[in-house]
Structure 1
Amino acid sequence: MSLSNLAAKIIGEKKRWRAYKARTKALPPPYRTTVDAIERYLMNSGETPTDGVQLVMLFEDLADLFEGAAADGTPIRDLVGGDPVEFAETFARTYSDGGWIAKERARLARTIDEIADDRS
């Protein structure tokens, strides 16, 4: 990838991110607060894609979901269910790009499998 293509990609993702933030800021308070909480959780959990395009797509789709829910008057609990952590992680998993946490999980499983096979 050329330097100009890389710069265009970074600038494009930055514009999309700013547009996402503007969309979520426009949500009614309970929906905005929920999206902000989910965003904060996902950004700190390691559950988000490491690819910038996938990451922005995840959050744009989250904004779509909450904009639709706000327009329909869907209660927050009906949207996220009884376990908001499970909701956030399941939502993010559909955008997985094999980020570092997925690689570490696979590495851990392989290591234990190898050790278990050696002891048999």
Structure 2
Amino acid sequence: MATGSSEPKSRYRQYLEVVTGSLEEKKRWRQYKARIKELPENYRTAVEAMERYLMHFGPGDGADAASMFEDLADLFEQSAADGTPIREIFGEDPVEFVEAFVQNYSVGRWISREQERFTSAIDRAAGENTVKDDRTV
């Protein structure tokens, strides 16, 4: 079956993806890792450090995460091509940089959902109602 085909997935592939996750997302991940492997050592080290951080605090959704990592590869490939120093990419506070970067991918970010759920629960426990999208939560 060709990628992007309008053919329905076989029953076997549907079952396999339920068990292992999307095969397309796995392909995108392997492509990302191959791109990172080609970076100069200092850029690769920085990307791998950021990748570890993002695995804990980045988007939980597979498609959103795949897009984020592809954008990360784009950023570092371009920076390496331009000879941009690592410190110039991250600035003085790498955590601030990565948090600003991850904010572009908030859909599916599990920590944001949990923060909202926690805040909402405390508001309810305190007897306060919060309004979200014109309805009471």
TM-score w.r.t. length of structure 2: 0.74
Greater RCO structure (CA 8 Å; 6+ sep): 1
Task: Tell me the amino acid that sits aligned with residue 100 of structure 1.
Answer: W
Unaligned runs of 5+ in 1: none
How far 1:99 sits from its partner (Å)? 3.1
Q: Whose helix fraction is larger, Structure 1's or Structure 2's?
A: 1
Q: How many residues align?
A: 115
Unaligned runs of 5+ in 2: 1-7, 129-137
Matched, 1:58 2:68: yes
Larger Rg: 2
RMSD across aligned positions (CA): 2.1
**Residues 32-86 of structure 1: CA deviation (Å, up to 9, x unaligned):** 0000000011112xx2212111111100100000000000000111111111111
TM-score w.r.t. length of structure 1: 0.83
Matched, 1:78 2:91: no
Task: Tell me the amino acid that sits aligned with residue 52 of structure 2.
Answer: R
Could you tell me whether the CA contact under 8 Å between 1:49 and 1:96 is conserved in 2?
A: yes
How far 1:113 sits from its partner (Å)? 2.6
Among 43, 46, 64, the residue aligned to 2:55: 43
